[in-house]
Structure 1
């Protein structure tokens, strides 16, 4: 004769087994949903300045500010099991010691419409989020991104404190799918079943410019003033 505690333990064990099997089945359904992410990214403006990149920086150092444009279609990553999508852009380059360097310059979280309530947003911000889904940076499909001359969220620095004139830098688009049930998945270099690798999503190589000095800044100011005077003289 089993005690009440033993019966309760058996029921709980059976419940957890059923929940685990059901969760595994739900997670496996993602493998049958095609993923065809694509993106086009390019630089708009690149600057290298010297100063304190963060308010908590203890010393001045060189840091890069990269503005970029991005058009991406990540709508295929949203399925009924997608909770939210973490999208980020990195600047990648190889150092003189053949070390691979990667720095995040921008990121964003795109939630599934059913997960909007989980964001720590006030009513005003929530209204803005819903408006943004009607056409601009976040389309109703919650995966179409269109950014022009986007200002980076983070500046690029280096432990050496010097980053000017770094060659062969590229911008790369990344994503991380966070499901309701299952494992986190990142963008892949090779296709896996119906999951395709990112099409595009990498910019052309570019070189970070030299650090601007006082002389170069004065020269740029003179050139801008001269260009303005020429346009004024051409007017009737």
Structure 2
């Protein structure tokens, strides 16, 4: 006869096996749900390069780029019953100026980001009482809120100024803006935007802006002449 301890172990083993199988089925279901995120428009609206210090006590000055942009994207298809939240961010990318390396590297810096919670996880977001009440009201009676994931930003100010390890970023050429997303499910693996279709999950269309060049840094003499 089996002891009580062995019976408990068998029940626990059976329970974890069933739980793991159920979780695997839920994770695979994400690939069976049609998703077609699209970016209708992504473009810069204002460019500025300024000089500043990385912190208050530093005597070193660096160049910082401030990139304002406009965005029109529909990521609502990313939200399903298994979606916890979607992390969205915009990066500025430009090729490395180093010609010594045979492999071309790309510089990438985040200029803006946001977290879009699903109706089932609004309580986890950093929302005030009024905003949370409004979100709950919009999601009432809906398994998926169709307005979630629709981003319309005009002349958006960046959250982060960007620089380069060399401290020089003015007059940088071939700069592009790119939209990224990370989908965090309740059960499953973190999914990022991909360049190819994966099952019914379509690649993100229109996520890259046209190339542009960052402005040069104005010299003090030129600034004085402009004021005169």
Match of 2:142 in 1: none
Report what 2:22 is aligned to.
Answer: 22
Q: 1:212 aligns with which of 191, 202, 218?
A: 218
TM-score, normalisation: structure 2:
0.87
Measure the CA separation in 1 of the matches of 2:138 and 2:90. Answer: 21
2:175 — aligned with what?
169
Deviation of 1:84 after TM superposition, in Å, equals 0.2
Counterparts in 2 of 1:128 and 1:154: CA distance versus 1, 3 Å: farther
User: Hey, what's the Cα distance between the residues in 2 that align with 1:75 and 1:93?
Assistant: 29
- For 2:131 and 2:2, locate their aligned partners in 1 and report how far apart those are by CA, in whole Å: 56
Structure 1 residues without counterparts, runs of 5 or longer: 134-138, 223-236
Moved more, 24-33 or 143-152: 24-33
CA–CA separation in structure 2 for the residues paired with 1:170 and 1:11:
56
Question: Where does the alignment leave 5 or more consecutive residues of structure 2 unmatched?
Answer: 99-103, 140-144
Aligned residue number for residue 165 of structure 2: 159
CA distance in 1, matches of 2:178, 2:148: 20
SS of 1:47's equivalent? strand
Matches of 2:203 and 2:131, distance apart in 1: 34
Which has the larger helix fraction?
A: 1
Find out whether 1:102 has 2:108 as its counterpart.
yes
Asked whether the 8 Å contact 1:43–1:67 carries over to 2, the reply is yes
Please report how far the alpha carbon of residue 19 of structure 1 lies from its aligned counterpart in structure 2 after TM superposition. Answer: 0.4
Structure 2 counterpart SS, 1:42: strand
Match of 1:229 in 2: none
Moved more, 52-61 or 169-178: 52-61
Structure-2 separation of matches of 1:120 and 1:5? 45
Root mean square deviation of aligned Cα? 2.3
Superposition map of 1:80-229 within 5 A: 80-97=81-98, 98-124=104-130, 126-127=132-133, 141-221=147-227
Q: Which residue of 1 aligns with 2:76?
A: 75
> Contact conserved, 2:87 with 2:115, CA < 8 A, in 1?
yes
Verify the 8 A CA contact 1:53 1:63 in the aligned structure 2.
Answer: no
